[in-house]
Amino acid sequence: MKRIKLVIAYDGTNYSGWQVQPGKTTIEGVVNKALSELLNEEITVIGASRTDAGVHAKGNVAVFDTNSPIPPEKICYAVNRYLPWDIRVLSSMEVPADFHPRKVNSKKTYEYKIMNREIAIPTERLYSYFIYYNMDIKAMQEAAKYLIGEHDFKSFCSVKTQVSETVRTIYSLNVDKYGEMIKITVTGNGFLYNMVRIIAGTLIEVGRGLKTPEDMDKILKGRNRRLAGPTAPAHGLTLVGIEYDMDAFLLE
Protein backbone atom coordinates (compact mmCIF):
# COMPACT_ATOMS: atom_id res chain seq x y z
CA MET A 1 0.00 0.00 0.00
CA LYS A 2 1.35 3.39 -1.01
CA ARG A 3 0.15 6.83 0.07
CA ILE A 4 0.09 9.24 -2.88
CA LYS A 5 0.09 13.03 -2.52
CA LEU A 6 -1.56 15.02 -5.31
CA VAL A 7 -1.26 18.74 -6.04
CA ILE A 8 -4.56 19.81 -7.58
CA ALA A 9 -5.49 22.97 -9.50
CA TYR A 10 -9.07 23.91 -10.34
CA ASP A 11 -11.41 26.57 -11.58
CA GLY A 12 -14.01 26.64 -8.81
CA THR A 13 -16.65 28.43 -10.93
CA ASN A 14 -18.76 25.36 -11.65
CA TYR A 15 -18.38 23.52 -8.35
CA SER A 16 -20.06 23.53 -4.94
CA GLY A 17 -16.63 23.72 -3.32
CA TRP A 18 -14.14 21.01 -2.43
CA GLN A 19 -15.98 18.81 0.01
CA VAL A 20 -18.32 16.00 -1.05
CA GLN A 21 -21.99 16.92 -0.45
CA PRO A 22 -24.99 14.81 -1.41
CA GLY A 23 -26.58 15.91 -4.68
CA LYS A 24 -23.85 18.49 -5.47
CA THR A 25 -20.91 18.47 -7.85
CA THR A 26 -17.75 19.03 -5.84
CA ILE A 27 -14.03 18.94 -6.65
CA GLU A 28 -13.43 16.15 -4.13
CA GLY A 29 -16.27 14.09 -5.58
CA VAL A 30 -15.04 14.46 -9.15
CA VAL A 31 -11.43 13.64 -8.13
CA ASN A 32 -12.58 10.56 -6.19
CA LYS A 33 -14.54 9.34 -9.21
CA ALA A 34 -11.65 9.91 -11.64
CA LEU A 35 -9.13 8.09 -9.41
CA SER A 36 -11.57 5.24 -8.81
CA GLU A 37 -12.09 4.82 -12.56
CA LEU A 38 -8.38 5.00 -13.33
CA LEU A 39 -7.31 2.59 -10.58
CA ASN A 40 -10.38 0.38 -10.69
CA GLU A 41 -10.76 0.54 -6.92
CA GLU A 42 -12.82 2.72 -4.58
CA ILE A 43 -10.71 5.78 -3.82
CA THR A 44 -11.52 8.47 -1.24
CA VAL A 45 -9.00 11.28 -1.02
CA ILE A 46 -8.19 13.32 2.09
CA GLY A 47 -7.99 16.97 1.11
CA ALA A 48 -5.82 19.64 2.70
CA SER A 49 -8.10 22.62 2.21
CA ARG A 50 -11.87 22.34 1.94
CA THR A 51 -12.29 25.38 -0.27
CA ASP A 52 -15.72 27.04 -0.49
CA ALA A 53 -17.99 27.05 -3.53
CA GLY A 54 -16.50 29.27 -6.24
CA VAL A 55 -12.98 29.43 -4.75
CA HIS A 56 -10.16 28.48 -7.15
CA ALA A 57 -6.91 26.62 -6.53
CA LYS A 58 -3.51 26.46 -8.15
CA GLY A 59 -2.17 24.07 -5.53
CA ASN A 60 -4.57 22.32 -3.20
CA VAL A 61 -3.27 19.00 -1.85
CA ALA A 62 -4.93 15.62 -1.34
CA VAL A 63 -3.72 12.14 -0.49
CA PHE A 64 -5.05 8.62 -1.03
CA ASP A 65 -3.85 5.06 -0.59
CA THR A 66 -3.50 2.54 -3.38
CA ASN A 67 -1.85 -0.72 -4.38
CA SER A 68 -1.69 0.37 -8.01
CA PRO A 69 1.51 -0.54 -9.92
CA ILE A 70 1.40 2.83 -11.76
CA PRO A 71 4.58 4.73 -10.77
CA PRO A 72 3.44 7.42 -8.28
CA GLU A 73 4.80 10.33 -10.31
CA LYS A 74 2.90 9.12 -13.41
CA ILE A 75 -0.51 9.08 -11.73
CA CYS A 76 -1.06 12.80 -12.42
CA TYR A 77 -0.85 12.31 -16.19
CA ALA A 78 -3.07 9.23 -16.09
CA VAL A 79 -5.81 10.69 -13.89
CA ASN A 80 -6.04 13.91 -15.88
CA ARG A 81 -7.52 11.85 -18.73
CA TYR A 82 -10.48 11.07 -16.43
CA LEU A 83 -10.92 14.65 -15.21
CA PRO A 84 -12.74 17.60 -16.79
CA TRP A 85 -10.51 20.47 -17.99
CA ASP A 86 -11.46 22.68 -15.05
CA ILE A 87 -9.66 20.27 -12.68
CA ARG A 88 -6.03 19.23 -13.25
CA VAL A 89 -3.71 17.17 -11.07
CA LEU A 90 -0.40 19.01 -11.44
CA SER A 91 1.83 16.46 -9.73
CA SER A 92 1.76 13.18 -7.83
CA MET A 93 4.32 11.57 -5.53
CA GLU A 94 4.58 8.91 -2.87
CA VAL A 95 4.61 10.15 0.74
CA PRO A 96 4.97 8.30 4.07
CA ALA A 97 1.86 6.32 5.02
CA ASP A 98 1.17 8.55 8.04
CA PHE A 99 1.31 11.81 6.09
CA HIS A 100 -2.02 13.58 6.67
CA PRO A 101 -2.48 16.82 4.69
CA ARG A 102 -4.42 18.59 7.47
CA LYS A 103 -2.29 17.38 10.39
CA VAL A 104 1.27 18.01 9.22
CA ASN A 105 2.56 21.55 9.81
CA SER A 106 2.27 23.63 6.68
CA LYS A 107 2.33 27.10 5.21
CA LYS A 108 -0.68 27.92 3.07
CA THR A 109 -0.69 30.78 0.60
CA TYR A 110 -3.87 32.39 -0.70
CA GLU A 111 -4.33 35.21 -3.20
CA TYR A 112 -7.35 37.50 -3.33
CA LYS A 113 -7.69 39.45 -6.59
CA ILE A 114 -9.60 42.72 -6.95
CA MET A 115 -10.24 44.16 -10.41
CA ASN A 116 -10.21 47.88 -9.67
CA ARG A 117 -11.39 49.92 -12.63
CA GLU A 118 -14.44 51.82 -13.78
CA ILE A 119 -15.96 49.03 -15.87
CA ALA A 120 -15.14 45.32 -15.49
CA ILE A 121 -13.12 43.38 -18.07
CA PRO A 122 -15.24 40.29 -18.88
CA THR A 123 -12.33 37.83 -19.21
CA GLU A 124 -11.22 38.61 -15.63
CA ARG A 125 -14.68 38.42 -14.06
CA LEU A 126 -14.54 34.79 -12.93
CA TYR A 127 -11.22 35.11 -11.09
CA SER A 128 -11.36 38.53 -9.44
CA TYR A 129 -13.80 40.68 -7.48
CA PHE A 130 -14.76 43.80 -9.41
CA ILE A 131 -14.72 47.07 -7.41
CA TYR A 132 -15.18 50.42 -9.13
CA TYR A 133 -14.52 52.61 -6.07
CA ASN A 134 -11.16 54.31 -5.82
CA MET A 135 -8.99 52.23 -3.52
CA ASP A 136 -6.27 53.61 -1.25
CA ILE A 137 -3.58 50.96 -1.64
CA LYS A 138 -1.25 52.57 0.90
CA ALA A 139 -3.95 52.46 3.56
CA MET A 140 -4.59 48.80 2.75
CA GLN A 141 -0.86 48.06 3.07
CA GLU A 142 -0.75 49.88 6.42
CA ALA A 143 -3.78 47.96 7.65
CA ALA A 144 -2.31 44.63 6.54
CA LYS A 145 0.72 45.08 8.81
CA TYR A 146 -1.48 44.80 11.92
CA LEU A 147 -2.45 41.26 11.00
CA ILE A 148 1.04 39.85 10.48
CA GLY A 149 2.27 37.60 13.28
CA GLU A 150 0.53 35.38 15.83
CA HIS A 151 -2.90 36.73 16.75
CA ASP A 152 -6.31 35.63 17.86
CA PHE A 153 -8.25 35.95 14.60
CA LYS A 154 -11.69 35.37 16.11
CA SER A 155 -12.97 38.63 14.53
CA PHE A 156 -11.90 37.28 11.13
CA CYS A 157 -13.67 33.94 11.43
CA SER A 158 -17.18 33.03 10.29
CA VAL A 159 -19.50 32.48 13.24
CA LYS A 160 -20.38 29.19 11.52
CA THR A 161 -16.97 27.78 12.44
CA GLN A 162 -16.72 24.58 14.45
CA VAL A 163 -13.27 25.29 15.88
CA SER A 164 -12.77 26.96 19.26
CA GLU A 165 -9.05 27.71 19.01
CA THR A 166 -8.78 30.88 16.92
CA VAL A 167 -5.10 31.79 17.30
CA ARG A 168 -3.21 31.59 14.00
CA THR A 169 0.05 32.95 12.60
CA ILE A 170 0.23 35.03 9.45
CA TYR A 171 3.79 35.02 8.07
CA SER A 172 3.18 37.58 5.35
CA LEU A 173 0.29 39.67 4.08
CA ASN A 174 0.95 41.83 1.04
CA VAL A 175 -1.21 44.21 -0.94
CA ASP A 176 0.17 44.92 -4.41
CA LYS A 177 -1.21 46.67 -7.45
CA TYR A 178 -0.47 45.37 -10.96
CA GLY A 179 -2.10 47.69 -13.46
CA GLU A 180 -5.79 47.61 -12.59
CA MET A 181 -5.54 44.45 -10.48
CA ILE A 182 -5.01 44.56 -6.71
CA LYS A 183 -3.59 41.35 -5.26
CA ILE A 184 -3.81 40.51 -1.57
CA THR A 185 -1.40 37.64 -0.90
CA VAL A 186 -1.36 35.98 2.49
CA THR A 187 0.73 33.13 3.88
CA GLY A 188 -0.03 31.55 7.24
CA ASN A 189 0.17 28.37 9.25
CA GLY A 190 -3.56 27.85 8.93
CA PHE A 191 -6.71 29.81 8.29
CA LEU A 192 -10.05 29.87 10.06
CA TYR A 193 -13.35 29.45 8.23
CA ASN A 194 -13.70 32.34 5.72
CA MET A 195 -10.66 34.05 7.30
CA VAL A 196 -8.97 35.10 4.05
CA ARG A 197 -12.24 36.39 2.58
CA ILE A 198 -13.00 38.37 5.77
CA ILE A 199 -9.46 39.81 5.76
CA ALA A 200 -9.99 40.78 2.11
CA GLY A 201 -13.40 42.28 2.88
CA THR A 202 -11.94 44.29 5.77
CA LEU A 203 -8.94 45.52 3.75
CA ILE A 204 -11.37 46.57 1.00
CA GLU A 205 -13.25 48.70 3.55
CA VAL A 206 -9.94 50.30 4.51
CA GLY A 207 -9.16 50.86 0.81
CA ARG A 208 -12.52 52.59 0.37
CA GLY A 209 -11.93 54.78 3.45
CA LEU A 210 -14.74 53.18 5.47
CA LYS A 211 -12.20 51.99 8.04
CA THR A 212 -8.74 53.26 9.00
CA PRO A 213 -5.59 51.11 9.16
CA GLU A 214 -5.56 51.69 12.94
CA ASP A 215 -9.03 50.10 13.20
CA MET A 216 -7.39 46.72 12.51
CA ASP A 217 -5.91 46.72 15.99
CA LYS A 218 -9.33 47.27 17.59
CA ILE A 219 -10.91 44.62 15.36
CA LEU A 220 -8.29 42.03 16.36
CA LYS A 221 -8.57 42.85 20.06
CA GLY A 222 -12.37 42.90 20.01
CA ARG A 223 -12.55 39.18 19.08
CA ASN A 224 -15.96 39.76 17.48
CA ARG A 225 -16.87 38.91 13.88
CA ARG A 226 -19.12 41.97 13.67
CA LEU A 227 -16.18 44.35 14.01
CA ALA A 228 -14.50 43.16 10.79
CA GLY A 229 -15.66 43.91 7.25
CA PRO A 230 -17.90 41.70 5.11
CA THR A 231 -16.82 38.34 3.69
CA ALA A 232 -15.49 39.16 0.21
CA PRO A 233 -16.98 37.04 -2.62
CA ALA A 234 -15.55 33.55 -3.17
CA HIS A 235 -14.62 33.95 -6.84
CA GLY A 236 -11.81 36.45 -6.05
CA LEU A 237 -9.99 33.85 -3.96
CA THR A 238 -7.36 31.34 -5.12
CA LEU A 239 -5.50 28.84 -2.96
CA VAL A 240 -2.03 29.30 -4.42
CA GLY A 241 -0.21 26.50 -2.66
CA ILE A 242 0.62 24.55 0.47
CA GLU A 243 4.17 23.96 1.63
CA TYR A 244 4.65 21.07 4.07
CA ASP A 245 7.34 20.55 6.62
CA MET A 246 8.39 17.16 5.26
CA ASP A 247 11.67 17.04 7.21
CA ALA A 248 10.24 14.97 10.03
CA PHE A 249 9.05 12.37 7.54
CA LEU A 250 12.20 12.30 5.49
CA LEU A 251 14.25 11.44 8.60
CA GLU A 252 12.31 8.26 9.25
Shortest distance in whole angstroms from residue 37 CB to a second copy: 19
Max intra-chain CA distance, the chain: 58
Applying CB under 8 A, among 74, 125, 138, 145 the residue interacting with a second copy is 125
The H or E element containing residue 3 is strand 2-10
Should residue 78 be labelled a site residue for a second copy when binding is judged by CB under 8 A?
A: no
For a second copy, which is the closer residue by CB, 22 or 179?
179
Shortest distance in whole angstroms from residue 250 CB to a second copy: 25
Do the beta carbons of residue 114 and residue 182 sit within 8 Å?
yes
**Three-state DSSP class for residue 69:** coil
Shortest distance in whole angstroms from residue 225 CB to a second copy: 30
Do the beta carbons of residue 110 and residue 239 sit within 8 Å?
yes
Shortest distance in whole angstroms from residue 217 CB to a second copy: 35
Q: State phi, psi for 203 to the nearest 5 degrees.
A: -65, -35
Site residues for a second copy, 184-213, by CB under 8 A, read: none
52 an active-site residue? Answer: yes
∠ CA 63-68-73 to the nearest 5 degrees? 60
For a second copy, which is the closer residue by CB, 4 or 157?
4
Task: Give Cβ neighbours of residue 56 (< 8 Å, ≥ 6 apart).
Answer: 10, 11, 12, 13, 127, 235, 237, 238, 239
Residue numbers belonging to the annotated binding site for substrate: 110
Should residue 215 be labelled a site residue for a second copy when binding is judged by CB under 8 A?
A: no
Should residue 234 be labelled a site residue for a second copy when binding is judged by CB under 8 A?
A: no
Residues comprising the chain, all counted: 252
Should residue 133 be labelled a site residue for a second copy when binding is judged by CB under 8 A?
A: no
* Residues binding a second copy (CB under 8 A): 9-11, 56, 58, 76-77, 80, 85-91, 119-123, 125-127, 238
Show which residues are catalytic: 52
